Each structure stands twice: as structure tokens, then as C-alpha cells.
Amino acid sequence: MSHPALPAKDEGLALVLTILGFFFVAGLQYFYLGKILKGILFFLTLGFFYVGTVISLFTIRGETRRVNAKRAYGYA
């Protein structure tokens, strides 16, 4: 049975949400990507005390691409 492709998430928006984590609410990028548990963890720990948020600045594009690959096959 074929699964319908889900719409892709925008890499630029995910990056903007990551940057907003420094000023407002950490973890928004993960809520956007559907990674709720990781989003809650970032929210409660201020993005692992901002170290995780800095790392996310460099890794969020790849994570968005992985999520989009899963969504293209109907998973996620």
C-alpha cells in the first residue's frame, strides 16, 4: 500500500526557529520538525544551557533534510 507524501518542512524556517531559541523559547525548531520529546527537553533546559542550541545552528539543516526524506515516503 502506498503512503501519500507529506509536505516538506522548510530548512530556512527551522533555522530561524533555532536562532529564536537564543532570545525567546528554546526548542521551537524541534517542535516544528515533529520531534516533540527533544523539543520539550530543549525547552526545559534552555537548549541544554544554550550549548545544544549552538550545535543545532550547524545541524538543523541536516535534521530537516532527514525529516523531509521520511515525509516524502509517507513516514513521520
State pLDDT tens for residues 19-50: 999 999 999 999 999 999 999 999 999 999 99
Q: Give dist(CA 3, CA 14) in Å, integer.
A: 25
Percent of the chain whose pLDDT exceeds 90: 86
Q: What is the mean pLDDT of residues 46-60?
A: 95
Tell me if the pTM is above 0.85: yes
Q: Give dist(CA 36, CA 56) in Å, integer.
A: 15
Look at residue 41 in the predicted model and tell me its pLDDT. 97
Q: Give dist(CA 31, CA 36) in Å, integer.
A: 5
Look at residue 76 in the predicted model and tell me its pLDDT. 67
